[in-house]
Amino acid sequence: MVLSSPVRLWLLPNAALLTALAVWGIVRYPHLPDRIPQHIGTDGVDAWTSRSVGSAFLLVFVHLGATVLLTACAELTLRVTPSAELPDSAAPFGNGLVRSSLNRPRTRASALRTARALLTFNACVGVSLMIGCAVLWRSAPEPEVSGWLFTAMIVPILVGTALTVVSAVRDRRAPAH
């Protein structure tokens, strides 16, 4: 699949974030203790695992998977025919069924806003995972985790979610041209 120009442009921050995470992890990996955090709860680290590439880079792999998925969603959003461009006359099982059964963007502009919102959301998830990597890749196996960690990890995700919802609401309220 060849990505469209808007997706390539808005994918750059995500690619830079993935690259930074990968390089940072590669640099930190030799200095990690034999046991690293596997799960961090509200009371700090509550599960440990042996250091391995899979366990140390899990958050990087999660961000890579999210990037692939959300990039595909953004690209498909730009490729679908907006509802404003569908013909008004429809056969019972033709365009009428398609028009009513799919959640399409109203216009090309709203499709672009939605694609940008998805890729911005992905970057926000990446920032959140980067904060998790800062805890995961500490040199000393300490069970204590700062109280700010949950807030620091959830705020970027909430910001990305809010931007995506605002884009969707704006699309629903805008008249089709």
Among 6-10, 24-28, 109-113, the range with the most confident prediction by mean pLDDT is 24-28
Question: Given a cut of 70, is residue 93 above it in pLDDT?
Answer: no
**Cβ neighbours of residue 158 closer than 8 Å, sequence gap 6 or more:** none
Higher pLDDT, 83 or 128: 128
Backbone angles phi, psi at 117, to 5 degrees: -65, -40
Q: Is 14 within 8 Å of 126 (Cβ atoms)?
A: yes
Query: What's the pLDDT at 128?
Result: 94
Q: Quick one: average pLDDT of 45-61?
A: 91
Res 90: pLDDT = 52
pLDDT at 88: 66
> Residue 3 — very low, low, confident or very high, per pLDDT cuts 50/70/90?
confident
User: What would the mean pLDDT of 52-62 be, rounded to a whole number?
Assistant: 95
SS (H, E, C) the chain: CCCCHHHHHHHHHHHHHHHHHHHHHHHHHHHCCCEEEEEEECCEEEEEEECCHHHHCHHHHHHHHHHHHHHHHHHHHHHCCCHHHCCCCCCCCCHHHHHHHCCCCCCHHHHHHHHHHHHHHHHHHHHHHHHHHHHHCCCCCCCCCCCHHHHHHHHHHHHHHHHHHHHHHHHHHCCCC
Which tens digits make up the pLDDT trace of 101-158? 467 788 888 889 999 999 999 999 999 999 989 888 987 777 677 778 888 889 999 9
